[in-house]
Amino acid sequence: GAVVSQHPSRVICKSGTSVKIECRSLDFQATTMFWYRQFPKQSLMLMATSNEGSKATYEQGVEKDKFLINHASLTLSTLTVTSAHPEDSSFYICSARKTGGTKNIQYFGAGTRLSVL
Amino acid sequence: GQNIDQPTEMTATEGAIVQINCTYQTSGFNGLFWYQQHAGEAPTFLSYNVLDGLEEKGRFSSFLSRSKGYSYLLLKELQMKDSASYLCAVRDRLKRFGAGTRLTVKP
C-alpha cells in the first residue's frame, strides 16, 4: 500500500504564531502533493499543488505569503501557516499522488486540525 | 469551470442498498473518483471511473456516464460503519471535490 504521514495531527496555537505541517509519503515517491483545507461539514478545498523542486501553484484566493509551501524532496512537503489568526482554524489535509499506473490515485494524510486562539 | 453536485444528506437502513448520485460539469474530463470520509478523518479512496460503465468492488460499485455528466456510488448490504460522508471528485487538470453526501445508516 501507499502511506502518507501528516504531522502534527492536532495543533493549538496563539494568534500571530506560525505553524508548520509536514506531509510525508512513506513508501513511495511523490513528485506532486496537494494541500486541502476543510471547514466543518464542507468539502475539501484545494489550496495549492506542490511540485518537488519548484514553486507551488496556488488556487485563486489563497494567499501564497500566508500559506508557505515547500516541497524540497520527493517524499516531503510542508505547509507553514504564517501569523495564524482564528479564521485560519480549520482541518488541513495533504495528499500525495503516486505516479505511474493507470489511476494516479491520491493518498491522503490523516489531516491536521489547527485551532488558533 | 467545474460544478459538482451531490445530495447533502441521505439516510438508509442497515442491510439495505443506497445509491448516491453525483452530477458534474467540467471543461475537460480525466476521471471521476469516490472517497469515503468519516468525521474528523481524511478521505479514503473507494473507486475510480474513467470509462462509461459500472465498476464493482465488493459491496461498493460506481457507475459513470460521461455523456450525461453523471455518476453514482452504490452501497450494498449497508453496515453501521458505512455511516460517513461520501465525496465525489472529478479531475480535469486538477481534482476537485463535491461537497459530499452525509450518509446515516440506521438499525
**What would the DSSP string read from start to end of B26-79?**
ESS---EEEEEE-TTS--EEEEEE-SSEEEEETTEEEEEETTTTEEEEEE-S--
Express as a percent the part of chain B with pLDDT over 90: 76
Give the whole-angstrom CA distance, residue B30 versus residue B42.
23
Grid coordinates of A106: 491520491
Tell me the C-alpha distance between B39 and B35, whole Å.
13
What digits encode the pLDDT tens for the residues B69-94? 999 999 999 999 999 999 999 988 77
What pLDDT score does B40 carry? 77
pLDDT tens-digit series, residues A10-59: 999 999 999 999 999 998 888 889 999 988 777 888 999 998 888 899 99
Nearest 5°: phi and psi at A87?
-70, -10
d(CA B47, CA B20) in angstroms, rounded, equals: 13
Beta bridge pairs of residue B10: B103
Burial category of A52 from C-beta neighbours within 10 Å (exposed 0-12, middle 13-18, buried 19 and up) = middle
How far out from the chain centre does Cα A91 lie?
10
**Within an 8 Å CB–CB cutoff, is residue A111 touching chain B?**
yes
Confidence category of residue B36, pLDDT binned at 50, 70, 90: very high
Q: What is the DSSP string of A58-86?
A: EPTT--TTTEEEEEEETTEEEEEE-S--G
Task: Indicate the residue of A42, A45, A109 with minimum beta-carbon distance to B42.
Answer: A109
Q: Has residue B15 got a pLDDT over 80?
A: yes
Q: Is B30 on the interface with A (CB under 8 A)?
A: no
Q: Which residue of B has its CA nearest to A109?
A: B42
Residue of A nearest to B4 (CA): A43
Between CA B99 and CA B5 the distance in angstroms is 7
Q: What is the DSSP letter of B18?
A: E
> Cβ of A51 under 8 Å from any chain B Cβ?
no
